[in-house]
Structure 1
């Protein structure tokens, strides 16, 4: 039996009814499989292909079916997945009887990636079995908020190689690009925070849009306020789940080539480092280089990543790893202005407002670790830590200002130089598990988290002179770097909090969830490094942030839910009058959400419909009685009041054998209650649709062929502000101010994919984006700056090999 299950074989079992798939598996694995006929009836399998052990093949074959298996001597016995820890997801599809150290007979360790329900690698699915956005592995149906998970399969099918790519495909997300980085918004609100492997909440850093996805198993977005775990803004929080080391040796090599001389090579090797698989490792490397549709622009990237997993005991897991990513961006400034009268200039898509020598250098190192101790079958203690070091340097010149429609003048040349060094440490410690009371199973999570950010920021803006003709600019010379900075600041932020959540079941079908966070440390310091003086010192008082929700499993596989989350954002950096003032109270608000979630085909297809409403009150505004002078911290009043509400619909997973779908639709209506209900987030469209499908042909006739297609469509959006009218006396645009509104019509961007698997090891695919070569603005802003074109039609060909 040991030889049968531990040795690797090639498997080729297409998606089909589970009963026939199990028959094929038994023949190809050389094993006896026992299962009642009624257990298999009505179930389908997504299939399995590739070279692997018998246990891994069966785990993948049963993924999403609701079945698990046991090893009994020389026989594999199939059975229902047991209910473990109430609403928590059982740890994988395999249970082993009489396995000793958990690996005898080639069985799967309960601490390994194969037993981790959060892992999506190898599942071939767009529907995750579980996610850890709430610290514990839970199915999407048991999370009372909207959650989108981009699985490993979808990352590969759509060639989503950066976080920017992922955000462009994530339900409800709009992308605001600028010349240095990008910001992301959901429900008209900023997505400000991220978590890694379910750890403590991290502040975003510049250049996050360039984070490479090669090292991640999945990327999830929780929409709405998540103050319970330290992310108070209601736009949402990103959760990055890293790939894990596997118990079986595996080498993947991927090569990409595409439009504008873009080339990329990935290497990914994993496997056991000790004879019994108790120590496992993984290493990933990336080299990426390419130009752009914009003139001068070129990007280069190098990444190395490694981790080691060790089963210190049968119930203790240690994970430690390191990532280093370096990026260089040349000729990067592609932000465009408009004419002074607000009319679109109609500049070609390859136009660049910067110089050929502009550059950004970014380097990020991350040290990470996790220690997990299981206590019996129901409890675990987890310690997660990340330490990030980022260095970001920029040397650039750019043209700014609106353009005179008569002669093309009006632009100014500026030098911009910066040097930013960031260090961030996050630590999260929690205990989680379940207990029995009154005949029901209940769940509890208690934890503490800590984050410390230290950032040294130095910059220099230098006026160069006028530019007379936007269509024939004269580029300034590259200045020396580094210069003598005119602004130098060191900021230190330290936050710490206790959190807890209790999920009780008055009856089996009802979950009542209550919890809260006690934020008892929130300190910010800013130092002027030119004068070595303390700019400001902010300490926010302790605050308790409550959370409540309910989930009713009203029908098999379907749940109704409702949740209320508090919004809390410190703004103690502003002072209320009279001078010198005292710290302004925080922004507060609530995030309401209700909806229905469902799982079909034993979890292979997941869907949700959600209604949400967000209110935020008390954001800082200038005090009319004593306005701030020259950027002073005093005086401000709590005057802001915004509301955002709408509907979200999602569907992810396998519709029928071979067809995967990812569908997301968002309706958003946001208003500024202090501005006659004018739109608060103008660039957020009211209607946003994102759809992607991929079909792998079944049967022998077209075996190996797959095709995909998708669309991203949105209704119109706009940007408003104030510009000056043409003065007939001077012939210049220095007349009275009037309000403008730049509106972009709705658009749809189509994409497609075709792929062919030569065998279980090699495949080739081609992705065609913006099929109809639509010209559109992915980001709009004012007349003088911030308007960016979306990508023209482009193609990427990918060759994948697995050994």
Structure 2
């Protein structure tokens, strides 16, 4: 560890890792202050002064001491009356979680459904996650019918990922009751030159390089810059599939005054995928028998491609007042483009001849723009002789989506692709259709204006009440070829209430209640939009923090009551569009548990377990998601050989099934049994600056379906990556 120079604080990369008490920086500072005296009085006797203090740095291995998730107040996890999981930078590194999909797949209570080679959906407590925030700004509600590559975005630019399970209407406004996800970006937090360079080689010819550099722009370090960039080129376990990615991230942080910091940044990510799939492979032969393709089998033609480009410009302001109040503001502009030339295969091949599979090609482009701003103030106040905390703020977000396709504007259909011939000999060789010119197919825009407030009231020494509300004015417009122009508007007050009882210094009990609403873009059979989702969310449980917040744990029981939840009811023959019905009386109830943190000086661990049941007025709801999940991951620094760190874990999920899946002999039920994926990792530090890390995923090469509703998609086989990192 380098010794910080006098008059400067040690950069984050040089701070102690995770011990409960730290003295190094204080002692060093004291030595700097005393050095002039010592120089003038060599013979003087100086008394020894020992000072200890709790670390102020929140990133502690796999956990954090404080977070603003859920309330905007900087609270310890056990002070928040909801379940919160935080994916820290250290855990992202140890598990080699390079994408958003990787990170959320390993987060307690979240299940992942891979629709095809690129599209991915995330679920929590039976509901699709479509609410995302960047630095706390509610910027994006995704449209399940159109995909812009969100799951493939790189995690290298994020300090942490915060997941609040259950309804989070206070912070998101309109949103989904399953969970909300907040991506917190990295900052230029070092006043000295520091950084790292890494290179990765892996299965399927994977090559990846990432550089992360922070440097002061002024001698004092009051103005600092950070750049993170990377490139990746790889093939896949799928035949013909390949992916190229590059990304760049830059941010400047400037301490304008002692109490004011201004930040401005830019985030660019680009992905080009060759021979991606659109859907998957047939689940049945024409005689009703189940297919059993190899995991390398790809239904994609060799001319298909999928491209995504994302640009985000953002700025932030943080000011601390003398009375311990603070003001924060963030603004962002995002533009994302999608271009997909794909082919969907449908039908049931003959077991012998391979005949019977048809091709439906589609070429679509889309552009999504998002403009968002959020500002809030929070701080303490006194009332009736007790100390309380208040937060109030407002946000504005506007999102527009425009799509066009190369289809016949008269018949509103894509060009015919014919059939594949003998599908048993399929190798992706297929002639492209005669594409028509691009024509507008659909556009949509939403606007959300909100004001919110919350108060943390100390009712008694062991009892704290958090109450708040958000007023949201939501407006949406949409146009689709053949359905006309529709406008929706919705104004809602979303209440929030939570009670926390401190049992002792370690344990607390909590209970919370909130309401939720979510406008929907699903159309019914007649082409009208479904009514917004409405409902209530209840949660109660206990939390604990040991070793001054180095280890955090939670256990909660929840119940979500929802109405008007959109479910696929069928598909129109004209245009192939799904139509939806509104499910009433949807109830999701269950429990989850998580413990994470530095169990010892050498052992970091995270373990989670979740179980729920979900029903509607017709029976089981969202059966394609596992009812029970368990995850464990740990890293252990070998005391006898401190250069070596080893670890691993597993992800287990219960069986899933889909009912009424169209088959060659009528609707059938398809199932995926429970399965376990085992992962290992090891890291060896040749020097304090140079380390080699090896990660193994799906160690036992488990073969499983990641999607099986109408067609099948296999999960990823066993694979290995090796990463060499040099830090400076």
TM value normalised by structure 1: 0.81
CA-to-aligned-CA distance 1:606-652 (integer Å, 9 cap, x gap): 1111111111013468999xx9997999x998652211111101011
Distance 1:26 1:547 in 2: 41
Residue from 707, 721, 724 that aligns with 2:660: 721
Corresponding position of 1:211: 153
Corresponding position of 1:510: 463
Distance 1:523 1:629, change over 3 A: farther
Question: Is 1:392–2:338 an aligned residue pair?
Answer: yes
Distance 2:670 2:479 in 1: 39
Distance 1:385 1:641 in 2: 38
What is the correspondence of 1:101-500 to structure 2 with a 5 Å cutoff?
117=58, 120=59, 123=60, 125-133=61-69, 134-179=71-116, 180-204=118-142, 206-229=148-171, 230-246=173-189, 247-333=191-277, 335-339=280-284, 340=286, 343-405=289-351, 407-459=353-405, 460=407, 461-473=414-426, 475-478=429-432, 483-485=436-438, 488-500=441-453
CA-to-aligned-CA distance 1:477-521 (integer Å, 9 cap, x gap): 24577x42465222121111111111111112211111111112x
Corresponding position of 2:485: 536
Distance 2:267 2:430 in 1: 37
Residue segments in structure 1 that go unaligned for 5+ positions in a row: 35-72, 82-91, 94-113, 725-732
Distance 1:609 1:155, change over 3 A: same
Question: Is 1:752–2:680 an aligned residue pair?
Answer: yes
Q: Is the partner of 1:471 in helix, strand or coil? A: helix
Corresponding position of 1:105: none
Deviates more, 1:584-593 or 1:562-571: 584-593
Residue from 610, 628, 644 that aligns with 1:705: 644
Distance 1:181 1:573 in 2: 19
Distance 1:465 1:513, change over 3 A: same
Query: Does structure 1 retain, via aligned residues, the 8 Å contact 2:522–2:566?
Result: no
CA-to-aligned-CA distance 1:507-558 (integer Å, 9 cap, x gap): 12211111111112x2222245x79xx9223232422111111111111121
Give the paired residue count. 695
Question: Is 1:692–2:633 an aligned residue pair?
Answer: yes
Q: Is the partner of 2:68 in helix, strand or coil? A: strand
Distance 1:759 1:486 in 2: 59
Q: Is the partner of 2:78 in helix, strand or coil? A: helix
Question: Is 1:775–2:703 an aligned residue pair?
Answer: yes
Query: Does structure 1 retain, via aligned residues, the 8 Å contact 2:468–2:497?
Result: yes
Q: Is the partner of 1:449 in helix, strand or coil? A: strand
Corresponding position of 1:88: none
Residue from 487, 499, 518 that aligns with 1:569: 518
Corresponding position of 1:793: 718
Q: Measure how far apart 1:325 and its partner are.
A: 0.7
Q: Measure how far apart 1:450 and its partner are.
A: 0.9
Question: Is 1:524–2:496 an aligned residue pair?
Answer: no
Distance 1:215 1:341, change over 3 A: farther
Distance 1:747 1:403 in 2: 29
Distance 1:486 1:10 in 2: 52
CA-to-aligned-CA distance 1:718-744 (integer Å, 9 cap, x gap): 1111435xxxxxxxx4x6x3x421111
Distance 2:347 2:573 in 1: 25
CA-to-aligned-CA distance 1:64-107 (integer Å, 9 cap, x gap): xxxxxxxxx999864555xxxxxxxxxx72xxxxxxxxxxxxxx
Residue segments in structure 2 that go unaligned for 5+ positions in a row: 34-45, 408-413
Query: Does structure 1 retain, via aligned residues, the 8 Å contact 2:450–2:471?
Result: yes
Q: Is the partner of 2:459 in helix, strand or coil? A: coil
Distance 2:591 2:561 in 1: 15
TM value normalised by structure 2: 0.88
Q: Is the partner of 1:555 in helix, strand or coil? A: coil
CA-to-aligned-CA distance 1:201-259 (integer Å, 9 cap, x gap): 42236210011011001111111111112243111111001111022220210111111
Distance 1:75 1:221, change over 3 A: farther
